[in-house]
Amino acid sequence: ICFVTQLSRGRVGGAYYDPTICKLYVLDDSQESSHYDLTRMLTEQAEAAVILVSSKADDGCMDVLRSQADASDSVFRIRPHKDFIPAKGRARILSLRLLTTLPSDDIISAAISAGSSDSEPRNAYDFMRRRRDVTGDPTVQQWNAAIRLANYASIDGSPLCLGSVGALLDYLAKLRAMSDLEDNGIGGLEIRSIEYISLKDIMQINADALYSLQVFDHENHASIHSDKTKEGLSLFGILNNTNTSLGKALLREWFTRPSMSPVVISARHDAVECFMRSENLGTVDAMHIHLKGIKNVPRILSAMKSSKAKVSDWQGLVKFAFHSVMLREALSELSQASHVEIVKKLVNALEVASFKDIGSTVNETINWEESTQAARVCVRPHIDEDLDKMKHIYNGIDSVLSKVAETVSANVPLSYTPTLNVVYFPQLGFLICVPMQDEWQNNGVDVMDGWTFQFSSEAQVYFKSQEMHGEYYSKGLFTPGLTGVLDLDKHIGDIHSAIVDREIEITQELLERILQFETAIVTSCDICAELDCLLSFADASRAYDYRRPELSEDNVTVIKQGRHPLQELVVDTFVPNDALLVGFECPEELIHALEQESDLDESMQNCRSSVMICTGPNACGKSVYLKQIALIHYMAQVRLIFVPAQSATLGIVDKIFTRIQTRESVSKAQSAFMIDLNQVSLALRNSTSRSLVLLDEFGKGTVATDGAGLFCGVIQHLLERGNICPKVIAATHFHDVFKEGMLDPGELPITFIHMQAMITSDDGKLLGMSGTEEYLQEDRTPEESDADPDARLPPGQRITYLYRVGKGLGLNSHAAVCAELFGIPRAVVRRAQYVRQEIWLSQLLRNHELGTLLDEEMTEDEKIELQVAEEVCRRFLACDLEGKRDGVDAKSLLAQVLERDGAADDEGELEYM
């Protein structure tokens, strides 16, 4: 087994190949923790003999992989980064024979063989055509591969994964060429399937599902010149109340990798429940305040070790020490928290005495005011005696310069310069500054005896004199009463650099003392980040009235009064609904007990199936209902969060697949319908009995009959899996499939529900309800239901959506009414209803079911008119149109059929006929 991975900027992607079953496993780009937990998990799970990594991967990632390789006796190799380029990886994976070669068809192959000729090719075009018949058209193969790749794994948006796959395939191709002495390239590799890496105890949810469920929503910056994004209306956005950068990063990591471990989920639920207690609200608020003061200390320590720390970083370290001590005191005030795991971990991790010592030592060493002014770390007085002396000299330089200038000016004639100054430059030392003379600009600078020219500007000229680099009698200039011989440049010229160097030495000594507690500090920060996420979830659960779900080892979904966490925030009133999904392997006793305990709505009674199909009018809330069930499952397994429901009993879900939204792009080779097929194909290939599959209007985008056939085929295929059938929730408008021989409501183990709609008159009188018991009658066909007067809503009637789940089928879409409600002109709607009626009549004629019209109520005049028309038709059909009748023309014949006297010469009568 060969495993390849690369990590960049906190995200990791990888792939490995199992030669025993010839299967390629891929992991799309995922958020990685600071301790490389996901990388460790992947290497342990793959049990690879060879581990490859990019040369530009993070150093920490390389260390982890190297240690994992040493522990498992694997070969660890660093490959050039050029092998990990995403574009090359995509090209290599599209070269696999698995993707380029379509499944063989005996009929097509026979037709090609019959059409081929044994004669020699007559020209170059004939030669190329025959070559394509044998090897295939490369362009077509590439197009097929680009489309079929999404059937196995959607990794086009995962550059790290694509790069890893490319490096893996390149390595395998070279290895095969060395062993078999054949170089067929990547196309010669034996790969029978491509699958996602199923992480242990981690729910699999791909980018399409996260996008469809609106877990994340990145909004671009308003300026086209900025690539920054912000979080829009999303599940992550409303639940993210974290106060630390580490907490936010950890929260995003949990959202991308929900847990499947009941022990982990239950432990975190206990913590959220504890923080939601009314007696702990004051303590929780105090903990929020202290968490705000905890910065990203691991990053600060890393900057300090690389000598890149700023003054604000040292301040952040002191704040961490203070707020961690205060946080430890706040934890002791929590009520009924002795059993909460996060509290135990934090109490053990926060070394109060050590952190107090760190904070006080740093605060007593660093002069914050001076450091802010100097933009570097400065040391307080009385820390180092030599440093204090140097600072005393440096601070008295102004008086020194004045006295030196007086001494120098005594020996300078006024004709040379009327004024002069003595200045000090760090690194350059003491200089005599003289104004630039006009004649010097033309004839050159005149240098006095004993002076040395240094440099000049447009207005000043700078010199060195004997006093600067020679012997100079101090005369007590620096310290009162101290006299002696002194070299200004030697003793004072580098004093600023000496001060900075000494402060760096003191700071480094301080850092070495702090790094002794690095492990304890980093561990405390990680646990504080976890606490930050817990408190954030507790706040959200309290604000949005979320309840704790009950986790079950059985494959069931029982939701009482469930809500959509985002939809309820943007509407005035949200109607909650129940849900019941049961896996095929669940015992009957458990199902009955769950129904009794949960007190489900009447619409969910005796609905014991793992497949649920929802029907109903347009815009009635079907999609919201599908998404809220998936989101409740997802939220329950994000380890910490409660769910928007009155109560919920949930079995663990291992994977979530969706066919809800289609993300189209001109950069993709697929059409919208093909993208939908990719999503469904991915679900069919990878779903298990513990998976959850959402199908919203699958089959749209093509001919209605083909779309309905695909939808029906997918549902029946899943049902035929038996005990390994996943839990499926589908919404559809293909009403023709609910008949005998297809998705028969009376035969298949499917739960049929609909979203209720109420039909009323203008004065508010109730005229009917969609989806009532009449829709369950076996003698009522979908065609008859579509012909209901309620479906057309005559003038004076209106439809009201109840957004409530009802039992049975709702076979009226009310599309015309929905169109008129949302802005389509009334004339267009009326025309659409007319065309729909004509199409329905043509279907009755084509199926020889014109007698169905007799079931409608008609007036006496309409019945007489229909009888007369029938007699005219019978006489016309009895006419011998092929026989020759002398003296009888067509007009006379029609007149006889219509029982009129004489030929109809008038054009008006012909128009009538």
pLDDT value of residue 200: 73
C-alpha to C-alpha distance for 746 and 221, rounded to whole angstroms = 54
C-alpha to C-alpha distance for 728 and 653, rounded to whole angstroms = 12
pLDDT value of residue 777: 37
Q: 206-215, 310-319, 842-851: which has the highest mean pLDDT? A: 310-319
Residue 27 pLDDT > 60, yes or no?
yes
- Please, which pLDDT band fits residue 710 given cuts at 50, 70 and 90? very high
pLDDT value of residue 619: 84
C-alpha to C-alpha distance for 38 and 10, rounded to whole angstroms = 11
The predicted-structure confidence for 430-484, as pLDDT tens digits, reads as follows 788 898 888 888 888 888 888 888 888 888 999 888 766 544 444 444 444 333 4
Question: Which residues have a Cβ under 8 Å from the Cβ of 170 and sit 6 or more positions away?
Answer: 83, 92, 186
What is the signed CA dihedral for 864, 867, 868, 873, rounded to 10 degrees?
A: 160
Domain ranges of the chain: 2-103+130-199, 205-220+230-378+509-544, 385-474+486-501, 851-879
- Please, which pLDDT band fits residue 545 given cuts at 50, 70 and 90? very high
Residue 776 pLDDT > 80, yes or no?
no
| Higher per-residue confidence, 45 vs 735 | 735
C-alpha to C-alpha distance for 134 and 124, rounded to whole angstroms = 16
pLDDT value of residue 321: 92
Q: Which CATH entry fits the domain spanning 205-220+230-378+509-544: 1.20.1440.120, 1.10.1420.10, 1.20.1530.20, 1.25.40.10? A: 1.10.1420.10
Structure tokens at 369: 């005011």
Residue type at position 874: R
C-alpha to C-alpha distance for 897 and 879, rounded to whole angstroms = 8
Helix (H/G/I), strand (E/B), else coil: 872: helix
- Please, which pLDDT band fits residue 779 given cuts at 50, 70 and 90? very low
Topology of the domain covering 2-103+130-199: Nucleotidyltransferase; domain 5 (3.30.420)
CA neighbor of 518 nearest in space, from 301, 354, 357: 301
| Higher per-residue confidence, 843 vs 884 | 843
- Please, which pLDDT band fits residue 179 given cuts at 50, 70 and 90? low
- Please, which pLDDT band fits residue 716 given cuts at 50, 70 and 90? very high
| Higher per-residue confidence, 661 vs 905 | 661
Q: 479-488, 656-665, 874-883: which has the highest mean pLDDT? A: 656-665
Question: Which residues have a Cβ under 8 Å from the Cβ of 723 and sit 6 or more positions away?
Answer: 583, 584, 585, 689
Q: 69-83, 531-545, 728-742: which has the highest mean pLDDT? A: 531-545
pLDDT value of residue 91: 86
- Please, which pLDDT band fits residue 624 given cuts at 50, 70 and 90? very high
Please spell the DSSP secondary structure of 99-151, one letter per residue.
HHSPPP-HHHHHHHHHH--SSPP-SHHHHHHHHHHHH--HHHHHHHHHHHHHH
pLDDT value of residue 782: 43
Residue 848 pLDDT > 70, yes or no?
no
pLDDT value of residue 130: 57
The predicted-structure confidence for 118-143, as pLDDT tens digits, reads as follows 556 566 656 555 555 545 567 777 77
Count of other CB atoms within 10 angstroms of residue 585: 13
Structure tokens at 686: 């990878």
Domain 205-220+230-378+509-544 shares a fold with domain 385-474+486-501:
yes
Residue 774 pLDDT > 50, yes or no?
no
pLDDT value of residue 477: 46
Residue 272 pLDDT > 50, yes or no?
yes
Q: Quick one: how many helices (H) and strands (E) in the chain?
A: 36, 26
Residue type at position 126: D
Q: 372-386, 668-682, 771-785: which has the highest mean pLDDT? A: 372-386
CATH architecture for the domain at 385-474+486-501 = Orthogonal Bundle (1.10)
- Please, which pLDDT band fits residue 532 given cuts at 50, 70 and 90? very high
Q: Could you report how far apart the first and last alpha carbons of the chain are, in Å?
A: 82
Question: Which residues have a Cβ under 8 Å from the Cβ of 484 and sit 6 or more positions away?
Answer: 473, 474
**How many Cα atoms are found within 13 Å in the side-chain-facing hemisphere of 474?**
18
The pair phi, psi for residue 359, each rounded to 5°, is -65, -45
CA neighbor of 803 nearest in space, from 628, 643, 664, 686: 628
Burial class (CB in 10 A: 0-12, 13-18, 19+), 634: buried
Residue 627 pLDDT > 90, yes or no?
yes
